[in-house]
Copies of this chain bind each other. A is one copy, B any other.
Amino acid sequence: MPSTYSRTDLYAEVQQFYARQMQLLDGGAFEAYAETFTEDGEFRHTPGREPARTRAGISAELHEFHKRFDDDPVQRRHWFGMMNLEPQDDDTIRATVYALVVTTRPGGKPAIAPSCVVYDVLVWEDGELFNRSRRVEHDQLFGSAAAAS
């Protein structure tokens, strides 16, 4: 973290980072989204699925994943909130964040699908924030996983 940064600066900075990052994703700018990760970044958006690694890998994974929407004119909006930041001794930041995906189809009513918790490790590189890793857990799988364990 830049040495003049306070906890307050960090909080605002991460909010702005997430807003831009997820607007890129919702706008289909997958390469630009992948560039918000470090070069060796890791991204697991769906439990049980192998994480995507490196920017090229994350971008490829997103193109693959979004094929399901090719014939489905859905508008997805990723909302992050209730952002709990825990700066670590090694200058990384652990972020535990609630997320909702709000989906709307033409003429339809918005629905939430799904409700998630996002576990991020963020790092500073040359004064800019990046995701070193992101792991997303889905609430609708939580009960069954807990029941099975």
Seen from chain A, the residues whose Cβ lies within 8 Å of a Cβ on chain B are 6-9, 11-13, 15-16, 18-20, 22-23, 73-75, 77-85, 96, 98, 100, 102, 104-115, 117, 139-144, 146-147
| Oligomer: number of copies | 3
Say whether A11 contacts B16, CB under 8 Å: yes
Instruction: Looking at the assembled complex, report how far the CB atom of A78 sits from the nearest CB atom of chain B, in whole angstroms.
Output: 7
Chain B residues contacting A13 (CB-CB under 8 Å) are 7-8
Say whether A98 contacts B79, CB under 8 Å: yes
Whole-angstrom distance between the alpha carbons of A144 and B74 in the complex? 10
Given contacts A82-B18, A84-B20, contact A110 B113 (CB under 8 A): yes
Given contacts A77-B115, A96-B23, contact A84 B143 (CB under 8 A): no
